[in-house]
Amino acid sequence: MDFMKLFGTVIAVLFYPGSSSKINGQRICRRGTERPCYKVSYIQESRRRLTFEDARQACRSDGGDLLSIETESEQRLMERFIEQLQAGDGDFWIGLRRSPQRYRPGSTSPGCPSQYYWLDGSKAKFRNWHWDEPSCGFEMCVVLHYQPSAPPDEEGHFLFQWNDDNCNSKNNYVCKYPEEKVQVFTEEGDKAHAGTTCT
Ligand SMILES: [Ca+2]
């Protein structure tokens, strides 16, 4: 994905006054029109924020899903989006969730971090957990941490790091509208092999 082009688009948007409101709730697409597109929803009034499932439905209702963050550069892009909103405190749901059927109450499986999966079907292994997360237990839905007014602990503010949260908490959210799926008849094995040798 050509994220530098997308950065250019974002920077162009930011030259205009009132740019925060332009980004909030608006789709921003690669090169202006190409997918993936993103939509950051910051809801100032905290009681009007959404649970994980409601946020997901909001994304799906217009053809997207909660955000998958597949690479370091995509993570940085989301940080730029949120910084430009100049938003107050409030975490952002992303589309990472622990598989409910594998959860056994009262146990913290050592394999817990590997049980988180992207709702949009992405197999990306990129993760940006805070050093003390995921805490597992009853927290199964993942947020980008965003509490800029909180005093930094010894680890710093840890803004934008990931935390698993109670799925019924109310948060802001980010939607992603994926690249168009094109049916390509190649063997998965070949593609995987090419991917690992092309670094
Ligand atoms: Ca947690």
CATH number for the domain that contains residue 109: 3.10.100.10
- Integer CA distances (angstroms), 68 to 77, 92, 106, 164, in order: 12, 12, 29, 15
Give, in degrees to the nearest 5, the angle at Cα 86 between 10 and 142.
85
133 CA → ligand 1 middle, Å:
6
What is the domain count for the chain? 1
Q: Which two tokens stand for residue 91?
A: 């975490």
Per-residue pLDDT of 130-174, as tens digits, reads 999 999 889 999 999 999 888 776 656 689 999 999 999 999 999
6 CA → ligand 1 middle, Å:
31
Place of tokens 């597109």: 37
**Which one is predicted more confidently, 150 or 94?**
94
Contact yes or no for 90/150 (Cβ under 8 A): no
pLDDT score for 189? 46
**Listed residues: CB within 5 A of ion ligand 1:** 133, 135, 139, 163-164
The mean of the pLDDT values for the chain is 83
pTM for this one?
0.80
136 CA → ligand 1 middle, Å:
6
How many Å apart are CA 146 and CA 162, to the nearest integer?
A: 10
Domain region containing 29? 3-197
pLDDT score for 22? 76
The residues pairing with 27 across neighbouring beta strands, listed in sequence order, are 39
